[in-house]
Amino acid sequence: MSLDKDVKTEVLSLFGDRRPDKDVKTEVLTLDASLLEGGGQGLSCLLNKPVKLLNARAKRKDPGLKPQHASGLKLMQDLFQAELQGGNIGSQEIYFKPNGVNTSDTFIADTQTAGSITLLIQISLPALLFSAPPPKKKLFLPPRSKKVILKGGTTVIASPPIDFLIEVFKPIVEREFGLHFNINIVGRGYYPQGKGEVVLRVDPIVERTLKPLNLVDRGEITKVGGRVTIANKSKQIGKRMATAASKVLTEAALPELENIQFDIEINSEKINAGKGLIRLWAETSTGCIISGNDISNQKETPEEVGKNAAEKLIQNIKHGGCVDEHLQDQLIIFMALAESRSKLVSGPITLHTRTAIHFVETMSGAKFHIKKLDSSEPLVNIQDNSLDWDEGMYLIECEGIGLMISK
């Protein structure tokens, strides 16, 4: 599927001239960010569409932008020299208008709290991939990589840890979509102090599109691995987490895990005592990686933390899909930007995934089709709240727009 004329003109304007063309339609796209959950500024940059977001996080107990959301907006403003209104912490109405790619090589985003660095990467990575100026000649040097210094929380509640991006997200998206980036943990940051630092380096892509995703066969589980990261003085606590996780995995007696050894490493680092993380993953014969993780806290024993991580992994294995709940929603924007038809078989569809599909369809022109595999219904509507989205397996297909930077 190719870009429609208006969208293609806007994309060429953004990347070719690095400024909006006066003849291009620049109507502001207004989106209700309380519908499902919010988003949109990344595609606003990529497609050169001004966007107005209303009711940001309005259905949350603490509505409005959190520090990581405000930092993400500021980063996108810097990357695309955008006009930004309402980008402060607590804002529920945001206006964002991109004005062309910033050709600088280095950027900084600092939440000044324990705000999620994982979220900052999720917001900025698609835009960074398409942040190079177009080549002026047929023979050209590869575009220079973009470096982003991110400060905040690496391991926080209600967000996948940075390790998830490195160990699960990165190998899948690099292989499937044909892109490349590096994530280096300079220092870890836990709630509530934060003070973590991560360096993201992205190689922009030029004169080619992202490949379509094809994750429809999970195959057989070939390995279950894990890693506990714990404070230097708490290595025994890490062992208790790992032992509890292995016990739960063994007692689950899943056919998929028969004759599989559980290899859980324990790493000690210079972090605050009592802070720690256990992450588990299952690798399959077709290259899928499925995960489960949990963060230590003062309310739970190490055994409970290890048990929680194992139960999350077991749940993701049982549903039979090719991805876990965190990877599922993070693939949506790449499926929309890729060429041709992407296919993904998943377990229960999360609210984050339904949100992502809603926004990318509204903004980009990509078309998603979702079928529940054990249902006679041909397709399902992502906004149908009467469906039990927490059960079953789904086939998610997308006709992507094939976004490309070219001269």
Query: Helix or strand or coil: residue 275?
Result: coil
Q: Indicate if the alpha-carbon torsion angle 231, 236, 239, 241 is positive or negative.
A: negative
Query: Which listed residue (69, 180, 326, 352) is catalytic?
Result: 352
Distances, alpha carbon 153 to alpha carbons 80, 186, 260, 273, 383, in Å: 25, 12, 34, 16, 32
Residues 6 or more apart in contact with residue 253 via CB below 8 angstroms: none
How many angstroms separate the CA atoms of 67 and 116, rounded? 9
Tokens of 199: 């360096």
Q: How far apart (Å, rounded) are the C-alpha atoms in residues 361 and 359?
A: 5
| DSSP characters over 133-163 | PPPSSSS-PPPPPEEEEEEEBSB-TTS--HH
Whether the Cβ atoms of residue 161 and residue 154 lie closer than 8 Å to each other:
yes
User: Is residue 352 among the annotated active site residues?
Assistant: yes
DSSP sequence for 211-238? PPPEE-----EEEEEEEEEEEGGGHHHH
Cis-peptide, bond into residue 192, ω within 30° of zero? yes
Active site residues: 352
